[in-house]
Amino acid sequence: MEDKPVEINSPIQLLVEGNDGRNFFEAFRRHLAISECDMQIHNYGGIRELSGFLSAFLRASGFRDVVRIGIVRDAEPSADRAFQSVQSALGNVDLPVPARIGILSAEGNPYTSVLILPGQGSGMLETVLNQSFAGTPVDVCIDGFFECIESTNGGEIHRPDKARANAYLSSTPEPQVSVGVAAKKGYWNLDHETFRPIRDFMQGLCTV
Amino acid sequence: MLERIKITNFRRFRELEVPRTTRINVITGSNNAGKTSLLEAIFLLSSGGNPIGVNIGRDLRGLAEDTQKPAAVREILWKPMFSALDTGTPIEIAAHHTDSGSISVKIALEEAAKTWRKEDAFADPYLVCTFFRDNGQIATSVYRLTDVGIEFMSGQAEIPFTAKILLPYLDTTGSEAAGLLGALRQRKQGDLVLEALRVIEPRLRSIEDNSVSGAPMIWGDIGLSELVPLPVMGGGIVRIASLALAMATVAGGVLLVDEIENGVHHSVLSNVWRVIDDTSRKLGIQVFATTHSYECLQAAASAIEDDDLSIHRLEVNEDESRCVTLDRSQIDGIIEYGMEVR
């Protein structure tokens, strides 16, 4: 059976990158217990799809009642360039543009805010997730595992942030799940201090 | 082609602008947003204020039986045309037409005291329709109520563009359809209808209009020992025949279709849109069609490959109407991301 089209029916909209991003932020919202915050979370696809997504999103039914939009993007090589890319995408569709990461735009109708993960520098959602178990015995085991691979002939750890996150999940009851689904299953310690910027960002969207 | 439509004080619309259009326009919106009223407004404009346009409200709203007496015409047909029953403000429907230029129709309900003939002393108001082109008054049609209905008192025929309106519950059948097909066959254009019908009935080898049963009707050859009357082949066939016949008779004009998905199975919607796309392109027809169906929107987007497709969503907020128009890339995005657009 085909899915019903998604209606925009909440005043606060959070746009995130990929299915993992959506699953993670849905889990995080539940964890924050901000049930009184009427928020919808959408996957806008990859970083190159944000502009096209926003152009269509503005025309979806229900958009006229949206008051705040949050956009989350991975920094990948550069947090600054990632932020500028999102600013550009917002400007291209005549939406208000925030001046700084994590701060609401000065103008509303609707207000916008952008979060770049992991914060400064380069990285992604997995970079933040990995910080939540840094220094734990499992993390030490993963270091050993990576050293073992790199010591083999031709061995190399590709995309170390993703590799570390998935290696961590191999220690959970369901090692086959993705990082986003793992968040829904409670496999990440969402109370860890590393998630404070995400907590502040989401609460900032919800605060009147 | 119609561009930049503006409607003032008509039915749901205090004011509505449709700032841009394409060859094929799909109109969506919630119930009572004014989808049918937009079609009605375009048809009124096409009539230049002449009777066929003024009376279309009867058919569109299923009121033919209820509006025979003067009081019924005034209370059920005329006054509700004016937004919020504000009969003190004229209705205005305006557009830019690529061939006819800036055109508009103004409709006013004038008191009987301001009579057009001094000897008339009727208590009922007059409906006065004035057609303008490029801001110059071209023609005026006046209607008054009598004991037997509406009298078209005066006016000159001025049809700025041809238009045909297809209703969801009143498909073309029987003698009217047979007559239309006969006329098309005389111009060697009968194949246009046959090709359209084959979209949902591939067995159809040929169609013809004849009166063998005593009444003119379209009959089809689906490979049986005898021809079969078209209406018994199903509601979908009748609907597509109505669409094809309508398009064939409005070349160079505008086709208005209410609830286009009616009677059409979802599996053939794309094919139906392909027929509409091909035929409207060949015959230079602009199409405005309303729909409630997301499947119908998806089918239109998949069948019509070029940029000649728009979706117009009518929204109402605290009695203010607005039209949100999606261009091709926005339509593709909406459907790709599975967002609601109706």
Distance CA A141, CA A148 (A): 11
Find the CATH number of the domain harbouring A112. 3.40.50
CB contact, 8 Å: B336 with chain A? yes
Q: What is the pLDDT of residue B171?
A: 63
- One domain for residues A29 and A42: yes
Distance CA A99, CA A80 (A): 12
Q: In terms of Cα–Cα distance, which of B4, B42, B48 is closest to B165?
A: B42
Tell me the C-alpha distance between B26 and B156, whole Å. Answer: 33
Closest Cα of chain A to B290: distance in Å? 16
Decide if A60 and B294 are in contact by the 8 Å CB cutoff. no
CB-CB contact of A179 with A5 (8 Å): no
- Give pLDDT, residue B113: 53
Count structural domains, chain A: 2
Which residues make beta-bridge pairs with B15? B8
Judge: B315–A42 Cβ closer than 8 Å, yes or no: no
Residues of B in contact with A59 (CB under 8 A): 313, 324, 326, 330, 334, 341
**Contact indicator for A169, A129 with CB cutoff of 8 Å:** no
Residue B128, pLDDT score: 87
Residue A75 has pLDDT above 80, yes or no: yes
Give me the phi and psi of B220, to 5 degrees please: -125, 150
Q: CA B197, CA B243: separation in Å to the nearest integer? A: 10
Report which listed range, A33-47, A168-182, B127-141, is most confident: A168-182
Q: Both A115 and A28 in a single domain?
A: yes
**How many Cβ pairs closer than 8 A exist between chain A and B?**
55
pLDDT at B214: 81
What pLDDT does residue B156 have?
A: 63
Element (H, E) at B312: strand B309-317
Same domain, A117 and A151: no
Test B333 with A5 for CB contact under 8 angstroms. no
Within a domain: residue A83? yes
Q: Any idea where the domains of chain B sit in the sequence? A: 1-162+251-342, 165-249
Q: What is the pLDDT of residue A98?
A: 95
- The boundaries of the domain holding residue A32 are 12-124+189-206
Concatenated DSSP letters for B163-225? EEEE-SS----HHHHHHHHHHHHHTT-HHHHHHHHHTT-TT--EEEEE-TTSS-EEEEESSSS
Give residue B106's pLDDT. Answer: 93
Q: Please tell me which residue of chain B has the smallest CA distance to A18.
A: B337
One domain, residues A47 and A134: no
Q: In angstroms, rounded to a whole number, what is the distance separating the alpha carbons of residues A155 and A83?
A: 34
- Does A57 reside within a domain? yes
Q: Is residue A5 part of a domain?
A: no
Answer whether B340 sits within 8 Å of A56, measured CB to CB. no
Q: What is the pTM of this model?
A: 0.87
Q: Which residues of B touch A7 (CB under 8 A)?
A: 339-340
Which residues, in sequence order, are bridge partners of residue B56? none
Kindly list the residues of chain A whose beta carbon comes within 8 Å of any beta carbon in chain B: 3, 5-8, 42, 44-45, 52-53, 55-57, 59-62, 64
In angstroms, the separation between the Cα of residue B104 and the nearest Cα of chain A is 29
Helix (H) or strand (E) holding B280: helix B269-283
Question: In this structure, what token pair is assigned to residue B245?
Answer: 């016949």
pLDDT < 50 positions in chain B? 121
B333 inside 8 A of chain A by CB: yes
The model's pLDDT over B105-149, given as tens digits with 9 standing for 90+, comes to 999 988 765 555 555 545 567 888 888 988 787 788 888 877 666
In which residue are the tokens 């299953």 written? A185
Mean pLDDT confidence for A48-65: 93
pLDDT tens digits, residue range A108-128? 889 999 999 998 889 999 999
The amino acid occupying position B335 is I
Quick one: CA torsion of A56, A59, A60, A66, rounded to 10 degrees?
A: 110
Would A7 be classed as within a structural domain?
A: no
Residue pair B255/B285 in contact (Cβ under 8 Å)? The answer is yes
pLDDT, tens digit, for every residue of A135-166?
Answer: 999 999 999 999 999 999 788 988 999 999 99
Q: Domain check: are A34 and A108 in the same one?
A: yes
* Residues A149, A113 share a domain: no
Does residue A165 form part of some domain? yes
Residues A39 and A140 in one domain: no
Rounded average pLDDT over A26-48:
89
Q: What fold, for B1-162+251-342?
A: Rossmann fold (3.40.50)
| 8 Å CB contact between B102 and B134 | yes
pLDDT: is B72 or A41 the higher one? A41
Per-residue pLDDT, averaged over A44-59, amounts to 92
Q: How far is A24 from chain B (nearest CA, A)?
A: 19
Confidence bin at A1 (pLDDT 50/70/90): very low
Measured between CA atoms, how close is B133 to chain A, in angstroms?
34
B341 touches chain A (CB under 8 A): yes
Contact (CB<8Å) A44/B340? no
**CA of B199 to nearest chain A CA: how many angstroms apart?**
24
Q: What is the pLDDT of residue A29?
A: 92
Q: Are residues A80 and A134 in the same domain?
A: no
Q: What is each CA distance from B89 to B43, B84, B110, B244, B297, in whole angstroms?
A: 20, 10, 10, 39, 36
| Statement to judge: residues A33 and A118 lie in one domain | yes
Q: What is the pLDDT of residue A22?
A: 95
- Are both A83 and A25 inside the same structural domain? yes
Residues A190 and A31: beta-carbon distance below 8 Å? yes
Q: Residue B179: its pLDDT value, please?
A: 85
Give the distance from residue A13's alpha carbon to the nearest chain B alpha carbon, in angstroms: 13
Which residue type occupies B161?
F
Whether chain A has a CB inside 8 Å of the CB on B31: the answer is no
| Continuous H helices in B23-129 | 35-47, 51-54, 56-60, 70-72
Q: Which residue from A45, A55, A61 is facing B342, i.e. has the nearest CB? A: A61
Model pLDDT for residues B262-304, shown as the tens digit of each residue = 888 888 888 889 989 999 998 999 999 999 999 999 999 999 9
